[in-house]
């Protein structure tokens, strides 16, 4: 079945650093989504990507839909304490599949 | 306020004791879904419903039941819970099945089965 490999599983960074995470798959997806989950909350959509090669920004966040349609990355620039949380990628073909998540921890 | 609510938020129970986790949305969404979240596995879909009286299995349906008698409610039923169902559960809704980008998640229910 369709599976996503999300990496890294966890990140420990200093405030102000840039962050990069990615998801890869052996399957082709039509849509890539990036969610953030704050502690004790449900995931919230950050960015949605609909076309291969698409590059989309949302404030300090930038995500790209890989040209092969099998991968996507999310970058966060100049991290701040409220960026802490778990970030999930999700790809959609016939159904929506989630990555394992990247837990981001920031040292002030 | 547009939202998805779940109750209870936390539940500790024993093996075999039937339980229901409620989910309600006030956005008139057709599509609703249940997920479980486990460390290292991300979110996995349990069941989904495309509209009233229409439900279907997701990736991990074993041991769960759902019903969709009204558009706003989508309860998750564990007839005989087992310890491997200890997990964090999320309900989600969206205007239509195809609009995954508009999927709204509830706050989660942390279930422990002893």
Q: Which candidate, B90, B76, B97, places its Cα nearest to that of B30?
A: B97
Percent of chain A with pLDDT over 90: 87
The answer, for A91 touching chain B at a CB cutoff of 8 Å, is: no
pLDDT at B98: 57
pLDDT at A2: 66
pLDDT at B103: 84
DSSP SS3 for B73: strand
pLDDT at A23: 97
Percent of chain A with pLDDT over 70: 98
Average pLDDT across chain A, whole number: 93
Structural element, H or E, at residue A91: strand A85-92
What's the token pair of residue B1? 């306020």
Alpha-carbon gap: A94 to the closest alpha carbon of chain B (Å): 10
pLDDT at B19: 98
pLDDT digits (tens, 9 = 90+) for B28-74: 999 999 999 998 888 999 999 989 999 999 999 999 999 999 999 99
Contacts (Cβ under 8 Å, ≥6 apart) of A87: A21, A34, A35, A36, A37, A46, A74, A101, A102, A104
pLDDT digits (tens, 9 = 90+) for B71-97: 999 999 999 999 999 999 999 998 875
The answer, for B90 touching chain A at a CB cutoff of 8 Å, is: yes
DSSP SS3 for A83: helix
pLDDT at B100: 53
Helix and strand tally (H, E) in chain B?
0, 11
Contacts (Cβ under 8 Å, ≥6 apart) of B39: none
Among A1, A42, A100, whose Cβ lies nearest the Cβ of B41? A100
pLDDT at A1: 58
Residues forming a β-bridge with B44: B36
Contacts of B48 in chain A (CB under 8 A): none
Tens of pLDDT along chain A (108 residues) come to 568 999 999 999 999 999 999 999 999 999 999 999 998 899 999 999 999 999 999 999 999 999 999 999 999 999 999 999 999 999 988 788 899 999 999 987
Long-range (24+ apart) CB contacts under 8 A made by A63-72 are A63/A32, A63/A34, A65/A32, A68/A28, A69/A28, A69/A29, A69/A30, A70/A24, A70/A25, A70/A26, A70/A27, A70/A28, A70/A29, A71/A22, A71/A23, A71/A24, A71/A25, A72/A22, A72/A23, A72/A32, A72/A34
Spatial distance between the Cα atoms of A52 and A58, rounded to a whole number of angstroms: 18
Question: How is residue B79 annotated by DSSP?
Answer: S
The answer, for B5 touching chain A at a CB cutoff of 8 Å, is: no
CA gyration radius for chain B?
Answer: 13
pLDDT at B93: 93
Is residue B1 over pLDDT 90? no
Alpha-carbon gap: A19 to the closest alpha carbon of chain B (Å): 20
pLDDT at B74: 98
pLDDT at B99: 53
């Amino acid at each position: 079945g369709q599976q996503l490999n999300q990496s890294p599983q966890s990140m420990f960074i200093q405030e102000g650093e840039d962050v990069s995470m990615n998801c890869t798959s052996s399957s082709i997806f039509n849509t890539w989504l990036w969610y953030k989950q704050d502690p004790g909350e449900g995931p919230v959509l950050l960015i949605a990507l609909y076309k291969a090669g698409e590059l989309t920004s949302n404030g300090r966040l930038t995500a790209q839909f890989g040209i092969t349609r099998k991968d996507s990355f999310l970058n966060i620039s100049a991290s701040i304490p409220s960026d802490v949380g778990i970030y999930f990628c999700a790809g959609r073909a016939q159904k929506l599949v989630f990555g394992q998540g990247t837990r981001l921890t920031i040292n002030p | 306020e547009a939202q998805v609510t779940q109750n209870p938020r936390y539940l500790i129970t024993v093996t075999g004791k039937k339980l229901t986790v409620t989910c309600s949305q006030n956005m008139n969404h057709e599509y609703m879904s249940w997920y479980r979240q486990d460390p290292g596995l991300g979110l996995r879909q349990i069941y989904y419903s495309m509209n009233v009286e229409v439900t279907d299995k997701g990736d991990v349906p074993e041991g769960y039941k759902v019903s969709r008698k009204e558009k706003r409610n989508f309860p998750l039923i564990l007839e005989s819970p087992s310890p491997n169902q200890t997990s964090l559960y999320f309900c989600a809704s969206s205007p239509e099945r195809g609009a995954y980008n508009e999927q709204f998640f509830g706050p989660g229910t942390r279930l422990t089965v002893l």
